[in-house]
Amino acid sequence: MKKNLIFALLVMGFSGIIAQILLLRELLITFYGNELSIGIILANWLILEAFGCLFLGKMAERFKRPLQGFVGLQIIFSLSLPLAIYLTRILKEVIGVAAGEGLGLISILYSSFLILLPVSISHGALFTFGCKIYSLYSKQDATSIGRVYIYETLGTIVGGIAFNYLLIPYFHSFQIAFGVALINLIICVFLLAPFWRDVQMLSPKILVIISLIFLLLTGFLTFSKGADKIHWLSIRRQWKNQDVLHYQNSIYGNVVVTKRGEQYTFFSDGIPIITTPTPDITFVEEFVHLPMLAHPWPEKVLILSGGTGGVIGEVLKHPSVERIDYAELDPLILKIVKSFPTHLTESELNNPKVNIEYIDGRLFIKKSSYKYDLVLLGLSNPSDLQVNRLFTKEFFSLAKERLKEEGILVISLPGSLTYLSEELKNLNACIINTLKSVFPHLQIIPGDGTNLFLASTSKEVSLINHLQLSQRLKERKLEVNLLTPAHIEYKLHSRWLNWFLKSLEGGTERINQDFRPLGVFFSLTYWNALFSPHMKGLFRWFERVNLLFLFILFFIITLVFLLVRAKVKRLFKMSIPLCIATTGFAGMIFDLALIFTFQALYGYVFHWIGLLVTAFMVGVAVGAIAMTSLLSRIKEDLAFFIKIELAIVLFSGILPVIFLLFHPYLDRPIVFFLLQIVFLVLSCLSGLLVGAQFPLANKIYLGSSPNLSRTAGLLYSADLLGGWVSGIFGGVVLLPVLGLLGSCIVVVMLKLSSLIIVATSARRRI
Mean pLDDT value of segment 186-210 = 79
d(CA 579, CA 585): 10
- The whole-model pTM stands at 0.88
Q: Residue 141: what pLDDT?
A: 67
69 and 114 together in one domain: yes
Among 277, 374, 365, 278, CA closest to 323: 374
278 near 285, Cβ under 8 Å? Answer: no
- DSSP classification of residue 516: B
Residue 198 shares a structural domain with residue 296: no
Per-residue pLDDT at 766 = 45
Q: What is the pLDDT of residue 204?
A: 78
H/E stretch holding 146 reads helix 142-162
| 258 and 282 together in one domain | no
Confirm whether 525 is domain-assigned. Answer: no
User: Comparing 257-271, 373-387, 751-765, which segment has the lowest mean pLDDT?
Assistant: 751-765
On average, the pLDDT of the chain sits at 90
Shared domain check, 722 and 762: yes
CATH number assigned to the domain comprising residue 225: 1.20.1250
- Is residue 584 one of the residues assigned to a domain? yes
Cβ–Cβ under 8 Å, residues 184 and 14: no
**Average pLDDT of 544-566?**
89
Angstrom distance (rounded) from CA 116 to CA 110: 10
Q: Helix axis angle, 173-192 relative to 66-95, nearest 10°? A: 160
Total count of domains within the chain = 4
8-state DSSP, 300: E
Which pLDDT score, from 0 to 100, does residue 143 have? 84
User: Is residue 412 within a helix (H) or strand (E), and if so which, with residue range?
Assistant: strand 403-414
User: Which sign, positive or negative, has the C-alpha torsion 16, 20, 23, 26?
Assistant: negative
Q: What 3-state DSSP class applies to 666?
A: coil
Answer with the one of 195, 222, 241 that is the final residue of a domain. Answer: 241
- Longest alpha-carbon distance in the chain: 95
pLDDT for 165-195, tens place per residue? 889 889 999 999 999 999 999 999 999 887 7
Does residue 540 lie in a domain region?
Answer: no
Residue 331 located in a structural domain: yes
Confidence of residue 265 (pLDDT cuts 50, 70, 90): very high
Residue numbers of the domain that contains 640:
545-766
Whether residues 73 and 175 share a domain: the answer is yes
Residues in a beta bridge with 302:
325, 375
Indicate the residue among 224, 241, 258 that finishes a domain.
241
Per-residue pLDDT tens for 282-340?
A: 999 999 999 999 999 999 999 999 999 999 999 999 999 999 999 998 889 999 999 99
CATH number of residue 433's parent domain:
3.40.50.150
Over residues 129-170, the pLDDT tens digits come to 999 899 888 766 678 889 999 999 999 999 999 998 889 889
Domain assignment present for residue 647? The answer is yes
Q: Using one digit for the tens of pLDDT, what is the confidence trace for 688-710? A: 999 999 999 999 888 766 677 78
User: Is the model more confident about 722 or about 672?
Assistant: 722
Q: Clarify whether residues 263 and 285 are in a common domain.
A: no
Residue 719 maps to a domain:
yes
Residues 315, 261, single domain; the answer is no
- The band of 732, judged by pLDDT with boundaries at 50, 70 and 90, is confident
pLDDT band for position 516 (cuts 50, 70, 90): very high
Name, in order, each residue with C-beta under 8 angstroms of 283's C-beta and a sequence gap of 6 or more: 449, 450
The phi, psi pair for 178, rounded to 5°, reads -70, -35
Last residue of a domain, one of 500, 515, 530: 515
| 312, 257: one domain | no
CA 283 to chain centre: 29
Write down the pLDDT at residue 1: 66
**Residues 168, 96 within the same domain:** yes
For residues 455 and 390, membership in a common domain is answered with yes
pLDDT-derived band at 281 (thresholds 50, 70, 90) equals very high
**pLDDT tens digit string along 624-661?**
999 999 988 888 889 999 999 999 999 999 999 998 88
Answer whether residue 523 is part of any domain: no
In a domain, 417, yes or no: yes
Q: Give me the DSSP letters along 26-83.
A: HHHHHHT--HHHHHHHHHHHHHHHHHIIIIITTHHHH-SSHHHHHHHHHHHHHHHHHH
Whether residue 284 sits in one domain with residue 204: no
What is the arithmetic mean of pLDDT over 524-537? 88
Torsion-angle region of residue 305: left (phi > 0), alpha (psi -120 to 50) or beta?
left
Residue 477 region, left (φ>0) first, then alpha (ψ -120 to 50), else beta?
Answer: left
Q: H or E stretch including 255? A: strand 254-260
Kindly state whether residues 742 and 604 are assigned to the same domain.
yes
Residue 424 confidence class, pLDDT cut points 50, 70, 90: very high
Lowest mean pLDDT among 86-95, 288-297, 521-530, 563-572: 563-572
